[in-house]
Structure 1
Amino acid sequence: MKLFQTMSDNYKYFKLVQENPNFLEFEHNYNRLRVVVIPKESHKQIIHAQMVYHIGSYDELVSYTGSTHLLEHLLFKNFEKSIDGDTQNIFQKLSKYGATINASTSTNRTNFYSTIPANVFDVWAACEAKRMQYAPFDVDNKDKKEKHVVVDELRIGQGNPFQKLTSAVVGAAFDRSGYSHLTAGSIADVEQTSQERLKDFHDKYYGPNNCSLVVVGPISVSKVLRSVHNHFGEIKMRHFQRIQRDELEQRGPRSVTVFSKMPFSMFQLAFRNMEGKHKDSVVLDLIAQLMQYDNVGIMWMLKQMNAVPSFGVINNRVPHRYLFQIVGALPSPNPKVEQAVISQIWNYLTALKQQPVPDNILQLVKQSLLNKYKAKVSGVEGLGALATEAVCLGDINDIWRREDAVKAITAADIKRVANYIFQPTRSTVGSLMPEPQGIVDRPDPKQVGYNKSLFETEYNQRRMTRELLESFQLTNRVNLSSNRYRCKFGILQHLTIPNINKTYLMLTTKAASSNNALAKVTSRVLREGMPQSRVKDDKMSLFGSSGDHLMDNLHTYMTQKNMNFAMSSVKQKVSLSITLDAEHDLSDAVHMVLKAMTNLPALSEQQVAVKAAMEAGQWQGIKHDSFTASQQKLTEVLFAQDDLNHATSPENMIKQLKHVTMKDMNNFKNDLFENGRPFAVTVLSNNSMSVDDIGKAVAQLWDKFSGKKRLMEHPFDDHSSPALAIKSQVHKLSMKGKADGHGVLGVRVALDKNDPTWTLLSLATNVFGSGMYSRLNKKLRIADGRTYGAYARLRGGQYASDSYVHVFASFSNKTIEDDTNAMRELWDEFVNYGITKEEFTEAKMHMKNSLNVKMDNLDNLVGLSHNTLMNNKNLNLKTIIKRISEATFEGVNDAITEHLKNKPIVTVIAGDV
């Protein structure tokens, strides 16, 4: 039966724009608000709802860059002047329901999104309707505090090498297009933007006729349309005129070089691409995938040679023609290195224009891209994110239509598109290099007394005919079942959700080796195998003479089955994870992993070094990240070196990686698990998979690695934290060249996750530093404008180890010490006086409901379920929820007094100090 048929008195206010098995799209007859409903099952009855306004940085004019992003921030503020007697914003309205609330601004859209229980959709709709009608800030108040927050975010971006280089590349690539600057804009423009102008901007562009309301999840169309009309139906259309900003033709190659105070080198080769709705835009998506694909892509080959430690190939699908970007980090600032790398890429692109992609390779890469698309539609949040960009392009159906477009792509299409896109005359090359010594700065116009250097000058100033008969209704609530079994290989936890399309397996036991670096390199070799493309100085051969080896390895199998495989080893606990489409056989997947382990490629010393260098490249970047460096230092002070919570420093990990050998990898592979240690296994599947099926799959690993000495013990090892004498202390980490840093506080807590008091302390920590209206953010961000975000987390507590409270915030390096002291004052007030009854009530409700919202994401569900199994075979999600429900106000404050008050505090300041 058609969903949308003849007359009904309930929904005469809408007309149906598109009807499709995947979605319904409506338009309000009065104000032209678009409404998109995408049915999606959710075992927790969670929906993703968003407002997508068709306005972004592309529409900003000179000297007003960053205005759209700044307005996005201001639209979260409280209504300082009561409009309808209610001044609360969306955070205060929805937080108690466990909602995830955020917003983002891009080139052509701004969206405000929430992940919420389906039964509070009407509350969400009321909040968004109010935000559409009124700019929730007082123009007369001239409040500049939120500007400080946005400027702080801009400073953080300036420390990002990719963002710094891309800003220069788009500036060089475009002349009059709105794509000539990044969405964040410039600090100077943001600082000078008046709130009067922002209010005028809101009044023009934030109207119903420039907006699409999108709902994804288990909710009836009738409920959505009823709420939408009730809250948005009387909002008038806005009148505005967009400026035509088509780009001028590029008639020659362009280049730009940027110097940075950070020790990074990077290149970017960019080409103007096609608008997102053009069919060839999807061909460019496939070319980007091909260039990065393991064993055959040029970027993967260059990484194998350690010429490009990390890379990305990005085809930006947006409403107008933007950029196809090839980006890579460089191991050296030597210009000859960059020239050699870019030369190899040009050789590859030339070959791509001339040589057809073999069909078996083409099908494999197409499947890889389809897997990537498919992974994003697995939950309501992922599908909602895809809907954001599809709506921005102008057609929600792009989510599904592009899959058909990928399947239809031929080798001839790739050659055709490569020939007209990868033209040197339409290229822009960007280089980011460390700033050379000897540069003399020009006098700063902001310097005191600068005007005395200027000539004196005198200035003269002047001043619905079709209705719904029946609403689409999804099936009744889908319940999660959970059972635990004692098996010959250990303990199995089987989670079942009917009709899900993925199977998840996580396995943990004790490793034979405690060398995490060795596990990382071995896992990479197992996944990737050996390269098939060949790079020569004068010529690029896209593919080896035979594709047989490529088609018979674990990575190819993973692509064909849409499978992910990972292996890690931390403090001698080894974990394997497998995820694949439910239609495929889990036993077969485990067999392929075992086959890859058995037939581990025999690499030369140089090839092992390259694999290790690829891993080390990721850790090199961490060395310059103030957040990671500060947290590592914190755990170093709070815990002994062999403690589970002690984080390995990047320097130590890089050192370990340099000493990995092929002999080590073979030993690791041959004796992966320690004898005498059974497995803890968690599997999430649909109801078509039986416990026997899972047992047969896991038994393959057991039989392979059990050994004669294996005994039936439980897999739950205690990792009790060694006692450590800790005093209050301050550490400063000097990280030159960045405009921002991190202030951090840490307190060790003698509790593990099995203790019910851990839940009470976690709730208290949430009051202090979780969410926009936490104690930290209300003062440091909203009231003072010191930071883009300040947070507190209760971390650790795994496997009977101690925990620690981690308090952190990003601050400007100019004020970081004062700002960290202000954060410390808030901590002292928190531990001395506890939380209020009102804070407790809201935080308890949020904690319980947010757990449900998070568990709707199946990756989160599997991860947390396996984590609880590893902590205690008797601990599960129901127990955690029960503990939250039983938490009392007095109990939380008692936990603060006992475990946090008068305890030693470690302070870490990481930045240009």
Structure 2
Amino acid sequence: MKKILFTFLLAAAFISCKNSSEEKTEDKIPELSINYNKIKLDNGLEVVFHVDKSDPVVAVELMVHVGSAREIEGRTGFAHLFEHLLFLESENLGKGGLDKMSARIGGSGANGSTSRDRTNYLQTVPKDGLEKMIWAEADKLGWFINTVTDPVLAKEKQVVKNEKRQSIDNRPYGHNQYVIGKNLYPKDHPYNWQVIGSLEDLQNATLEDVKTFFKKWYVPNNATLVLSGDIDVDQATKWVHKYFDEIPKGTDEIPALVKRPGKVDKIKSLYYEDNFARVPQLTMVWPSVAQYDADSYALDVLTQYLTDGKSAPLNQVLVDDLKLTSNTTMYNYASEIAGETQLIVRAFDGIHLDDVKAGIEKGFTKFEAEGISEKDLNRIKAGQETRFYSSLSSVLGKGTSLASYNTYTGNPGFVTEDLKNTIAVTTDDVMRVYNKYIKNKNYVATSFVPKNAAKLALKGAVLADIVEEQIVTGAEEKFDPKIAATYEKTPSSFDRSIEPPYGETPSLAVPEVYESSLENGLKIFGIESNEVPLVRFNITIDGGQLLESFDKLGVANLTADLLNKGTKTKTVKELEEAIQELGASIYVYSNTENITLSGTTLAKNYNKTLALAQEMLLEPRFDETEFDLLKKATIANLRQDEADPNAVARNTYNELIYGKDNIRSKNTLGSVASVEKITIDDLKIFYKNYISPSVAKILVVGDISKEKVVASLTSLNKNWIAKEVTIPEYKTPEAPTKPTVYFYDIPNAKQSVLQFGAPALAATDKDFYAASVMNYILGGGGFASRLTQELREGKGYTYGIRSGFSGTKAKGAFTISSGVRSNVTLESAQLVKKILEDYPITFSDKDLETTKSFLIKSNARAFETDRAKLNMLANISNYDLKPDYVKDRENTVNNMTKEQITTLANKYVNPNKMIWLVVGDAETQLQRMKELGYGEPVLLNERQKQIKN
């Protein structure tokens, strides 16, 4: 989905590629540089090429140097609105634009994002689609604006407003950043408003406003094009000249943005009673410096040190000593013209935020007294090399990095300086920036508290000025986006309406999979991949929540969490430091069907990292204090879920699908009541009985051979003793024989969360993949799907909607899910119902052709990253598939007929045999749902009193 992208990462996390012959050492990060070619066209377009032939794919990224900072007060949200509009149509691509073409050529799904400072458009395609993509990107830049009409603009306004409702208005703490921006920056500062803009400004935007904005900013001399992947640079250069050369340079001079920090003349403290919050949250924000400023690197280290891990001063005070929260978060958000350093603490239920603030001050005092040691500084820096190589795993990641560096510094290879600046940070620098930007400096504080709990806010806080949208049925304007634009076509020296041909078809290269096993029963699945010197591994133990009893729900989750908290010989702090000193990460987590230990490490540190993973797995500490903290954190999460519409919808839908007697219907965190009853002895018993190699496997992908992997597991084979584990089977109910509408009331919800579906298939069922193929045009194909085309593109009811099958080894559900604006809840359900009814009889030859084209061509991208390869191994090991199962799937796709699609649709997506769940505002929407024609809606919770703003 087109979305706003906020990134709060260390600078080195954006590193894109390496071309260095310098040998690696155990204690020194090698010299890193970027291998690229750059040209500049006469019209000012800067083009960067990067060659990576490891996979037959190409990433194409167009970055335009315009974000919300280029807007003016009263016309906010334009940059982001443009991100949406540019996908819809252009003169030669026609309706559906890049989205439609992406589906045909096997692309990753054309996407984009908007920040304060830039807008980018990106996707990965098989290499035979490169010329098509260059043609399409040029058409968007030079042959687009005539296709925007008043109806198209009206519809896309509704889509963007739905995005705002989904990501901000209908989410706990969603308005927090809005309050910060309004108070951290002066009214005329371009960071005073949010990237998404205001509903009022969006509604007031005129077609003339839109055209003026485009003509000023969407010009070649304000853009960077990056082509990264399996390319011939000479041929790609010729195509770039052919398609981009005749786009005229912008007539207006593009001024550089002047650095301008936020300004807080005195401490500002504001509060807000959040309709969706269940626990209080304190945020403190200090003005800081822009990205790439010398001080920004030390601020990155400072914020990580203060809040990351057991040794972090703020965690020691607020988590361990005062027990006010389960964790703290601090980051340095550096943008092009200003930066801000944010500290966020979400407290436990009922905690006064004055106590939290006092704890923060105590933590700062601790830091002032102790400072940061060389060891801690080096530990933080140690992750840079791993993050660097991780960024190499996809050509898309490289493309974004190259485009970003070029846009902001003019040098795609700035990564070398960026990393050097990070490595050069000293302990004195860290203390210096603390004193300069944090200590005794003015800040903005926000207290977001539950409704009717203003007493929990900071003392003296004043009410924040937030305008919330009212729910009014029928309030939105009407439009018909199908009305075609009439215009005189923009001239060109050749016929641009002819889509370029495909290049040479890439061959499908399936990674070679090896399998083995240990004497204790542990199964081994691996893929050797030496593109980057990293190793990723997962140790997955079957069982998870399925092994819990109903009166102790949440035991598996707490057991997994506690395995992260130290070992017999290492405290939590010592374990964290041992992992970080290797530049590695190890994390244990649980879900419905298993517990997984996941690790990532430099290949040179694989054995040391595996040794730590084994210690965590076989020698848990079972620390009582950490257990108590985890229980409190879990209960806080569960309480917050009670008011989060998306969490409520997910949990309620699972109960309706599986039934209350099936453990798959339960939240993997458990319930407040069950977690309160769990003791540490329950975890010890669960661990003793169920953490066994007899039901486990290890998946390994990376720069290591099978022989070395098997040899590395000798100790695990010897010390991990097998025991018999029987995993209960819970039968999934059959699909209902008639439809029922269920409604869960969340007063004043700005959106209704829809979950429609029924029990369907297991992943091992012979129909499972074929049914997924059937679903591509229905709701699995993004912008190629009917659900998206009708509800988003046709009506503007939603920001996004999808459908899919969720089966594993057990039968799962077919589900349609979306968030729609509250006042079209019924209309959205009616439209979904009609689409489902029509689908089996209207699926066309063209639909089948699009489905086959995408699913076959997209296989070129199927195994590009190590994460994708791990997913491949998971499929093979979970479902007993052949290593080349993707070829069997290709046969299924190639042999699919319209008649099979009809049969599968009638069998698995019948609207008259479904559960129709709505989570939203009952006062305005409950009674309307009768008109769906499925009887009286069933209200699942007590009708709540409407909360007025």
Q: TM-score range by the shorter chain?
A: 0.7 to 0.9
SS of residue in 1 equivalent to 2:742 = strand
More moved, 166-175 vs 696-705: 696-705
Q: 2:865 aligns with which of 857, 860, 869?
A: 857
Is residue 201 of structure 2 the alignment partner of residue 201 of structure 1? no
Q: Which residue does 2:357 correspond to in 1?
A: 342
More moved, 881-890 vs 649-658: 649-658
Q: 1:748 aligns with which of 759, 766, 771?
A: 759
Q: Which residue does 1:272 correspond to in 2?
A: 287
Q: 2:513 aligns with which of 482, 485, 493?
A: 482
Q: Which residue does 1:679 correspond to in 2?
A: 696
Q: Which residue does 2:194 correspond to in 1?
A: 182
- Tell me, in whole angstroms, the C-alpha distance in 2 between the residues paired with 1:168 and 1:88: 37
Q: Deviations over 1:101-149 (max 9, x none)?
A: 1111110001111111223121111111111113356455443111111
Q: Deviations over 1:798-855 (max 9, x none)?
A: 11x2232111121112221332222222212224x25211111111221233344243
Q: 1:108 aligns with which of 110, 117, 132?
A: 117
More moved, 568-577 vs 821-830: 568-577
More moved, 356-365 vs 183-192: 356-365
Is residue 239 of structure 2 the alignment partner of residue 223 of structure 1? no
Q: 1:331 aligns with which of 348, 364, 368?
A: 348
Give the Å deviation of 1:371: 4.1
Q: What are the within-5 Å matches in structure 2 for residues 676-825 of structure 1?
A: 677-686=694-703, 688-690=704-706, 692-707=707-722, 721=732, 727-749=738-760, 751-769=761-779, 770-796=781-807, 798-799=808-809, 801-825=810-834
- Tell me, in whole angstroms, the C-alpha distance in 2 between the residues paired with 1:413 and 1:105: 32
In structure 2, what residue type is equivalent to 1:560? E
Q: Which residue does 2:309 correspond to in 1?
A: 294
In structure 1, what residue type is equivalent to 2:290? E
- The alpha-carbon distance between structure 1 residues 139 and 594, as it changes in their structure 2 partners (threshold 3 A), is closer
- Tell me, in whole angstroms, the C-alpha distance in 2 between the residues paired with 1:482 and 1:660: 41
The answer on whether the counterparts of 1:349 and 1:418 sit within 8 Å (CA) in structure 2 is no
In structure 1, what residue type is equivalent to 2:132? V
- Tell me, in whole angstroms, the C-alpha distance in 2 between the residues paired with 1:348 and 1:328: 13
The answer on whether the counterparts of 1:512 and 1:671 sit within 8 Å (CA) in structure 2 is no
The answer on whether the counterparts of 2:508 and 2:860 sit within 8 Å (CA) in structure 1 is no
Q: 1:624 aligns with which of 629, 643, 646?
A: 643
Is residue 77 of structure 2 the alignment partner of residue 35 of structure 1? no
The answer on whether the counterparts of 2:543 and 2:727 sit within 8 Å (CA) in structure 1 is no
Q: Which residue does 1:13 correspond to in 2?
A: none
Q: Which residue does 2:614 correspond to in 1?
A: 594
Is residue 556 of structure 2 the alignment partner of residue 502 of structure 1? no
- Tell me, in whole angstroms, the C-alpha distance in 1 between the residues paired with 2:622 and 2:441: 44
Q: Deviations over 1:717-746 (max 9, x none)?
A: 987645576542111111224311212210
In structure 1, what residue type is equivalent to 2:676? K
Q: Deviations over 1:723-780 (max 9, x none)?
A: 576542111111224311212210222x322334222211111211131131111111
Q: Which residue does 2:558 correspond to in 1?
A: 521
Q: Which residue does 1:879 correspond to in 2?
A: 888
Is residue 616 of structure 2 the alignment partner of residue 564 of structure 1? no
Q: Which residue does 1:313 correspond to in 2?
A: 330
Structure 1: gaps of 5 or more residues? 1-19, 449-474, 532-547
The answer on whether the counterparts of 1:355 and 1:415 sit within 8 Å (CA) in structure 2 is no
Q: Which residue does 1:90 correspond to in 2?
A: 98
- Tell me, in whole angstroms, the C-alpha distance in 2 between the residues paired with 1:724 and 1:85: 42
In structure 2, what residue type is equivalent to 1:581? L
- Tell me, in whole angstroms, the C-alpha distance in 2 between the residues paired with 1:574 and 1:613: 21
- Tell me, in whole angstroms, the C-alpha distance in 1 between the residues paired with 2:638 and 2:284: 25
In structure 2, what residue type is equivalent to 1:846? F
Q: Deviations over 1:261-316 (max 9, x none)?
A: 22342221111111112121111111121122211124433244542345432211
In structure 2, what residue type is equivalent to 1:693? K
Q: What are the within-5 Å matches in structure 2 for residues 639-658 of structure 1?
A: 639-641=658-660, 646-649=664-667, 652-658=670-676
Give the Å deviation of 1:667: 3.1
The answer on whether the counterparts of 2:105 and 2:858 sit within 8 Å (CA) in structure 1 is yes
The answer on whether the counterparts of 2:651 and 2:665 sit within 8 Å (CA) in structure 1 is yes
TM-score (ref. length: structure 1): 0.84
The answer on whether the counterparts of 1:868 and 1:877 sit within 8 Å (CA) in structure 2 is no
Is residue 848 of structure 2 the alignment partner of residue 840 of structure 1? yes
In structure 2, what residue type is equivalent to 1:23? N
In structure 1, what residue type is equivalent to 2:113? S
- Tell me, in whole angstroms, the C-alpha distance in 1 between the residues paired with 2:78 and 2:466: 29
Is residue 435 of structure 2 the alignment partner of residue 419 of structure 1? yes
Is residue 270 of structure 2 the alignment partner of residue 256 of structure 1? yes
Is residue 145 of structure 2 the alignment partner of residue 131 of structure 1? no
- The alpha-carbon distance between structure 1 residues 897 and 378, as it changes in their structure 2 partners (threshold 3 A), is same
TM-score (ref. length: structure 2): 0.81
In structure 2, what residue type is equivalent to 1:812? R
In structure 2, what residue type is equivalent to 1:595? E
Give the Å deviation of 1:213: 1.0
The answer on whether the counterparts of 1:766 and 1:843 sit within 8 Å (CA) in structure 2 is yes
In structure 1, what residue type is equivalent to 2:220? P
Q: Which residue does 2:372 correspond to in 1?
A: 357
The answer on whether the counterparts of 1:511 and 1:674 sit within 8 Å (CA) in structure 2 is no
The answer on whether the counterparts of 1:45 and 1:218 sit within 8 Å (CA) in structure 2 is yes
Is residue 681 of structure 2 the alignment partner of residue 663 of structure 1? yes
Q: What are the within-5 Å matches in structure 2 for residues 45-124 of structure 1?
A: 45-79=56-90, 83-84=91-92, 89-100=97-108, 101-124=110-133
- Tell me, in whole angstroms, the C-alpha distance in 2 between the residues paired with 1:342 and 1:327: 11
The answer on whether the counterparts of 2:539 and 2:598 sit within 8 Å (CA) in structure 1 is yes
Q: Deviations over 1:192-222 (max 9, x none)?
A: 0012111111111101100011233232332
In structure 1, what residue type is equivalent to 2:214? H
Q: Deviations over 1:475-510 (max 9, x none)?
A: 999862123345532543222223432222233344
- The alpha-carbon distance between structure 1 residues 773 and 785, as it changes in their structure 2 partners (threshold 3 A), is same
- The alpha-carbon distance between structure 1 residues 582 and 479, as it changes in their structure 2 partners (threshold 3 A), is farther
Q: 1:145 aligns with which of 136, 139, 155?
A: 155
The answer on whether the counterparts of 1:97 and 1:117 sit within 8 Å (CA) in structure 2 is yes
Q: Which residue does 1:240 correspond to in 2?
A: 252
Is residue 898 of structure 2 the alignment partner of residue 889 of structure 1? yes
More moved, 287-296 vs 346-355: 346-355
The answer on whether the counterparts of 2:283 and 2:447 sit within 8 Å (CA) in structure 1 is yes
- The alpha-carbon distance between structure 1 residues 569 and 27, as it changes in their structure 2 partners (threshold 3 A), is closer
- The alpha-carbon distance between structure 1 residues 727 and 776, as it changes in their structure 2 partners (threshold 3 A), is same
Number of aligned residue pairs: give it.
832
Q: What are the within-5 Å matches in structure 2 for residues 338-487 of structure 1?
A: 338-353=353-368, 355-368=370-383, 371-372=386-387, 374-394=389-409, 395-436=411-452, 480-485=511-516, 487=518
- The alpha-carbon distance between structure 1 residues 248 and 267, as it changes in their structure 2 partners (threshold 3 A), is closer
Give the Å deviation of 1:570: 4.3
The answer on whether the counterparts of 1:506 and 1:578 sit within 8 Å (CA) in structure 2 is yes
Q: Which residue does 1:458 correspond to in 2?
A: none
In structure 2, what residue type is equivalent to 1:848? I
The answer on whether the counterparts of 1:212 and 1:391 sit within 8 Å (CA) in structure 2 is yes
- Tell me, in whole angstroms, the C-alpha distance in 1 between the residues paired with 2:214 and 2:38: 24
The answer on whether the counterparts of 2:68 and 2:190 sit within 8 Å (CA) in structure 1 is yes
Give the Å deviation of 1:350: 4.5
The answer on whether the counterparts of 2:732 and 2:812 sit within 8 Å (CA) in structure 1 is no
- The alpha-carbon distance between structure 1 residues 657 and 857, as it changes in their structure 2 partners (threshold 3 A), is farther
The answer on whether the counterparts of 2:814 and 2:908 sit within 8 Å (CA) in structure 1 is no
- Tell me, in whole angstroms, the C-alpha distance in 2 between the residues paired with 1:442 and 1:386: 36
Q: 2:655 aligns with which of 636, 645, 651?
A: 636
SS of residue in 1 equivalent to 2:446 = strand
The answer on whether the counterparts of 1:518 and 1:665 sit within 8 Å (CA) in structure 2 is yes
